[in-house]
Chain A
């Protein structure tokens, strides 16, 4: 049993697995940045209630939020070619993750803004700021502080969800571990231990960060 572990963690295999971790992190980081920007914009659109427009955007957000991520991955990777666009695997995974996670963030941003005392906006308006100035300088900074823990835990889900992209053959950790244990069934347990640990370390660090931010805010 121990020998299996030693054999499975050969330098070549480890390098291959850590390469997978690199792809997981690459996809996560790009999707995090993209979905944070798009999600914030969508959340603000939903909050400010522009006639018809906000309602339509809100409805689309609700539709995407309530679909499984795997389905969105299939749409981007297998569906888009039917419309004449053929994305590579990594951009397709990033696109799907960004679309899905930005709708999740939009909800967090909207409820974060709503949690700010409406008196803040009234005060800002009474002091001569325009609606948008009040939103940008007074309401949003306060909302952001309230939202940070929820946003970080959403990013933890995002990192975990990158594993679903194995279904479109994104060569990340889980996919690569399957290739390694496909060659030798003795490596199955060592591989599961390795990837579980790698995911755990990344996600646990993020959740410690989330808890620290939550405490500091309280």
Chain B
């Protein structure tokens, strides 16, 4: 395995960079989208709740790979050309945002309803109360599950390998087929994934224990 790192270090590092870039971009966008849809689900408007529900159910119940392939195969035909990295990141963002919406919503619901009543009684509008009173308290609860979502995101970013996204998994395949040392190549890739995911998931477990 060590000689894989020695011979293909540059390729692996490039793949690691793409994986990290894709994961961080998808995390940022899916946090924005997910929070937005969580707020819509908690909003007083019935229509907004319906829209959010449909969005979340669709992207939660369709495999990530189908979503990604949709952007890779269908979009270029009818809408706009995009490379594998873009298609993969968009797919990952939409898929993860549905899970983040559920997480954030659970966080909002775990805040004492008296907080909202108090805020409204003090003259804040619904959205002001959400923004200044509820969300800041909710985010404390949702940090551990969000961290676990990020671990899932890093793992799921390996679907980029299907669409030529030049991520870690893709480079692993290239190395495995050119060096013919399948196990060593995949082990090297595995170690690099673990370097990202293990510390996060251990830290989140620690946070969970401390919050409980």
For the complex, is A68 an interface residue (Cβ under 8 Å from B)? yes
B74, B156, B183, B202: residue with the most chain A Cβ atoms closer than 10 Å: B183
Report yes or no: B172 in contact with A71, Cβ–Cβ below 8 A: yes
Report yes or no: A207 in contact with B169, Cβ–Cβ below 8 A: no
For the complex, is A79 an interface residue (Cβ under 8 Å from B)? yes
Q: A199-B66, A200-B62 are in contact. Are A188 and B77 (CB under 8 A)?
A: yes
For chain B, residues 132 to 155, give those with C-beta under 8 angstroms from any C-beta of chain A. Answer: 151, 155
Proximity bits, B174-197, A CB within 8 Å = 1, else 0: 001000001100100110011001
Q: A188-B73, A200-B61 are in contact. Are A68 and B156 (CB under 8 A)?
A: yes
Report yes or no: A68 in contact with B61, Cβ–Cβ below 8 A: no
Q: Which one, A2-10, A59-67, A122-130, A143-151, is touching chain B?
A: A59-67
Q: Which one, A87-95, A134-142, A160-168, is touching chain B?
A: A160-168
Give the size category of B's interface with A: 35 or more
For the complex, is B65 an interface residue (Cβ under 8 Å from A)? yes
Proximity bits, B96-118, A CB within 8 Å = 1, else 0: 00000000000000000000000
For the complex, is A180 an interface residue (Cβ under 8 Å from B)? no
Which of chain B's residues have a CB closer than 8 A to the CB of A65? 201
For the complex, is A217 an interface residue (Cβ under 8 Å from B)? no
- Selected contact of A78 from candidates B62, B66, B169, B176, CB within 8 Å: B176
> Which residue of chain B has the shortest Cβ distance to A192 in the bound complex?
B70
Report yes or no: A79 in contact with B66, Cβ–Cβ below 8 A: no
Closest CB pairs A-B (n = 5)? A203-B61, A68-B158, A66-B197, A160-B63, A163-B63
Q: How many A-B residue pairs have CB under 8 A?
A: 105
Q: A164-B65, A188-B74, A196-B62 are in contact. Are A68 and B186 (CB under 8 A)?
A: no
Which of chain B's residues have a CB closer than 8 A to the CB of A83? 183
For the complex, is B162 an interface residue (Cβ under 8 Å from A)? yes
Give the B-binding residues of A (Cβ under 8 A). 62-63, 65-71, 74-75, 78-79, 81-83, 156, 160-161, 163-164, 166-167, 174, 181, 185, 188-189, 192, 195-196, 199-200, 203-204, 207
Q: A68-B155, A200-B58, A207-B60 are in contact. Are A62 and B66 (CB under 8 A)?
A: no
Given A160-B61, A160-B63, 5 new contacts (CB under 8 A) = A71-B193, A81-B182, A83-B183, A160-B64, A199-B61
Question: How many Å lie between the Cα of A156 and that of B98 in the bound state?
Answer: 14
Report yes or no: B169 in contact with A71, Cβ–Cβ below 8 A: yes
For the complex, is B159 an interface residue (Cβ under 8 Å from A)? yes
Q: Show 18 residue pairs from A and B whose CB-CB distance is below 8 angstroms, ordered by the A residue.
A: A62-B198, A63-B194, A66-B194, A70-B158, A70-B159, A71-B186, A82-B182, A163-B64, A163-B66, A174-B69, A181-B73, A188-B77, A192-B66, A196-B66, A196-B70, A199-B66, A207-B60, A207-B61
